[in-house]
């Protein structure tokens, strides 16, 4: 079972990051979506029973002949998948895409352990999916390291990314949590040698997704054994964006992020009055500011620094209240988690402010969660040191007791 224990702390995961603003870019050259590999890859034999009828059922699996050569070399199987999941917006069954990678060699006793890697923000258009990119939008090196360490790795795209039949409900924690859990179920339909034991690792939007998956696993994750989740710079509580927008105090990092949030709310909530939240420069260049690929993506990078707080200031107090309520509904915690968590975040984070994360952590601890809290006072949103995560994940697969910072963390509202 030694390959099931991460041994990758020295490989340099500096690219496991979120670029400030609304869109993620990895360290690879390829940051734009490509023609779906499934169009040229071979269909893979798998268990396709129940597709479209039950969460986690596998609907499609095709080989990935254009995937990054290092990841291809580390994998005995690389596949783009489509699977059934659930929308947190309307609780309807949906189809979600993603990718799955299997190590070389024979599975250990008990089957391949699974890591679900939940990616950071890539955009909200269907073309913004990691599975459509040979480099997984710059994260293939992270996935390669996990596969080399002996894990089956599943990378959900999230609802609305990779497939255009549903909108992407950006930062809707429930939807993302369902998508993560069901990606593990789908991976097991594809890989019979996979274990039911799994952990999840996520960054920013993905950090919220893994936290949500942990909360949902007890009721939604039947048949799987979640051992723990890692959330790096998680966008776990973003309700403060509403009041910051009203006060004209959005940071340069928050301005483009709010553009994407507003557009997603407009698409997923038909009664959301988006015109109450945008004007001037933002409104004039809105379509470019939400682009994730092609020439508009390059133009977006040039336009983003020109955004101001006045462009996104809600027009009325009622609009502020409406936005705050929607953001609170998307945020965490909602309920106790199922398994231990590791949460790493920066004291200089200008996108998800550290006090927002502190508040969420104290609320989760008050619910009885077991959380290893690792604040990094001199770090921001994009430069978190993740080296402690690898030993923590190994310890969960070894069955060791998880560290619990909640034993010394003050509850919400207590004097600091």
133 and 270 in a single domain? The answer is: no
Q: Tell me, yes or no, whether 194 and 246 share the same domain.
A: no
If you average pLDDT over residues 395-410, what whole number do you get? 93
Last residue of a domain, one of 302, 328, 354: 328
By C-alpha distance, which of 315, 328, 314, 281 is closest to 300? 281
3-state SS assignment for residue 184 = helix
Query: 223 and 245 share a domain?
Result: no
For residue 413, what pLDDT is reported?
62
Cis, peptide link before residue 333, omega less than 30° from 0: yes
Helix and strand numbers (H, E) in the chain are 12, 9
CA dist., res. 197 & res. 152, Å (int): 11
- Of the candidates 233, 74, 62, the residue with the CA atom closest to the CA atom of residue 140: 74
Angle at 367 between CA 361 and CA 369, to 5 degrees: 65
Long-range contacts (CB closer than 8 Å, 24 or more residues apart) made by 56-59: 56/83, 56/84, 56/85, 56/181, 56/182, 56/184, 56/185, 56/186, 56/188, 56/189, 57/83, 57/84, 57/185, 57/186, 57/189, 58/82, 58/83, 58/186, 58/189, 58/190, 59/83, 59/84, 59/95
Residues 120 and 221 grouped into a single domain: yes
Residues 53-75 have a mean pLDDT of 97
Nearest CA among 155, 330, 357 for reference residue 260: 330
Identify the CATH number of the domain in which residue 387 sits. 3.40.50.1820
Are 372 and 343 contacting, i.e. CB atoms less than 8 angstroms apart?
yes
One domain, residues 176 and 157 = yes
State how many domains the chain has.
2
Residue 403 resides in a domain: yes
Q: Beta-strand (E) ranges in 256-366?
A: 341-346
Tell me whether residue 66 is in a domain: yes
Distance CA 165, CA 144 (A): 30
Question: What per-residue confidence (pLDDT) applies to 46?
Answer: 96
pLDDT of 414 reads 59
What sign does the dihedral 225-228-233-239 (CA atoms) show?
Answer: positive
Tell how strand 152-156 and strand 194-203 pair up: unpaired
12: pLDDT strictly greater than 90: no
pLDDT of residue 360: 98
Asked whether 70 and 142 are in contact (CB, 8 A), the reply is no
Q: Please state, in angstroms and rounded to a whole number, the distance separating the CA atoms of residues 123 and 400.
A: 37
Can you tell me the mean pLDDT for 170-191?
98
81 part of a folded domain:
yes
- Residue range 18-48, pLDDT digits in tens: 333 333 333 333 433 344 444 458 999 999 9
> Pick from 304, 328, 352: which residue ends a domain?
328
Claim to verify: residue 262 and residue 318 sit in the same structural domain: yes
One domain for residues 53 and 124: yes
| Shared-domain flag, residues 396 and 380 | yes
pLDDT of residue 412: 65
- Structural domain includes residue 33: no
Residue 335 confidence (pLDDT): 98
Judgement on whether residues 179 and 315 belong to the same structural domain of the protein: no
Which pLDDT value is given to residue 408?
Answer: 87
Same domain? For 287 and 383 the reply is no
Q: Does residue 31 fall inside a structural domain?
A: no
Residue 400 phi, psi (nearest 5): -75, 155
Whether residue 398 lies inside any domain: the answer is yes
Determine the structural domain holding residue 400 and report its residue range.
Answer: 2-8+38-237+331-407
Claim to verify: residue 228 and residue 258 sit in the same structural domain = no
Buried-state track 358-377, b at ≥16 Cβ within 10 A, e below 16: bbbbbbbbbeebbbbbbbbe
Say yes or no: 319 and 371 in one domain.
no
Is residue 394's pLDDT more than 70?
yes
Token pair belonging to 118: 């939940």
| pLDDT tens profile 332-348 | 999 999 999 999 999 99
User: What's residue 39's pLDDT?
Assistant: 43
| pLDDT single digits (tens) 182-228 | 999 999 999 999 999 999 999 999 999 999 999 999 999 999 999 99
Instruction: Pick the last residue of a domain from 328, 363, 382.
Output: 328
Establish if 16 belongs to a structural domain.
no
Closest by CA to 33, choosing from 131, 121, 159, 120, is 131
Q: Which of 261, 300, 272, 96 is closest to 178 using CA atoms?
A: 96
pTM confidence score: 0.91
Neighbours of 70 (CB within 10 A): 16
Q: Which has the closest alpha carbon to 7: 142, 148, 123? A: 148
The answer as to whether 13 is a domain residue is no
Of the given ranges (8-22, 81-95, 118-132, 208-222), which has the lowest mean pLDDT? 8-22
Model confidence band, residue 110 (pLDDT cutoffs 50, 70, 90): very high
């Amino acid at each position: 079972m030694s390959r099931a224990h991460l041994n990758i702390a020295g490989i340099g995961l500096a690219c496991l990051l979120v670029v400030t603003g609304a869109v993620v870019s990895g360290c690879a050259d390829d940051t734009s979506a490509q023609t779906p590999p499934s169009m040229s890859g071979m269909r893979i034999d798998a268990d396709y029973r129940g597709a479209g009828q039950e969460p986690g059922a596998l609907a499609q699996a095709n080989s990935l002949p254009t995937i990054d050569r290092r990841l291809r070399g580390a994998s005995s199987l690389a596949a783009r998948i489509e699977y059934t999941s659930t929308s947190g917006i309307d609780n309807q069954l949906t189809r979600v895409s993603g990718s799955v990678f299997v190590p070389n060699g024979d599975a250990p006793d008990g089957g391949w352990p699974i890591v679900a890697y939940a990616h950071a923000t890539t955009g909200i258009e269907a073309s913004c999916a990691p599975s459509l990119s040979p480099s997984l939008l710059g994260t293939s090196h992270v996935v390669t390291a996990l596969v080399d360490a002996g894990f089956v790795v599943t990378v959900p795209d999230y609802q609305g990314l990779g497939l255009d039949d549903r909108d992407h409900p950006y930062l809707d924690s429930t939807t993302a949590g369902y998508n993560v859990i069901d990606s593990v179920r789908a991976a097991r339909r594809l890989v019979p040698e996979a274990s039911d034991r799994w952990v999840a690792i996520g960054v920013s939007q993905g950090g919220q997704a893994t936290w949500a998956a942990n909360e949902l696993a007890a009721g939604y994750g039947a048949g799987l054994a979640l051992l723990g989740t890692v959330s790096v710079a998680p966008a776990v509580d973003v309700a403060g964006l509403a009041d910051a927008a009203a006060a004209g105090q959005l940071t340069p990092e928050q301005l483009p992020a709010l553009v994407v949030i507003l557009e997603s709310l407009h698409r997923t909530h038909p009664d959301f009055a988006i015109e109450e939240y945008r004007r001037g420069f933002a409104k004039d260049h809105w379509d470019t500011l939400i682009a994730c690929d092609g020439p508009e993506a390059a133009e977006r990078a040039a336009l983003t620094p020109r955004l101001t707080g006045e462009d996104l200031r809600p027009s009325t107090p009622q609009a502020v209240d409406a936005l705050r309520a929607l953001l609170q509904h998307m945020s965490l915690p909602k309920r106790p988690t199922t398994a231990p968590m590791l949460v790493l975040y920066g004291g200089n984070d200008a996108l998800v402010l550290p006090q927002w994360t502190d508040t969420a952590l104290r609320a989760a601890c008050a619910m009885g969660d077991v959380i290893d809290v690792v604040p990094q006072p001199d770090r921001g949103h994009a430069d978190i040191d993740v080296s402690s995560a690898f030993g923590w994940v190994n310890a969960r697969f070894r069955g060791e007791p998880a560290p619990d910072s909640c034993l010394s963390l003050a509850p919400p509202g207590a004097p600091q």
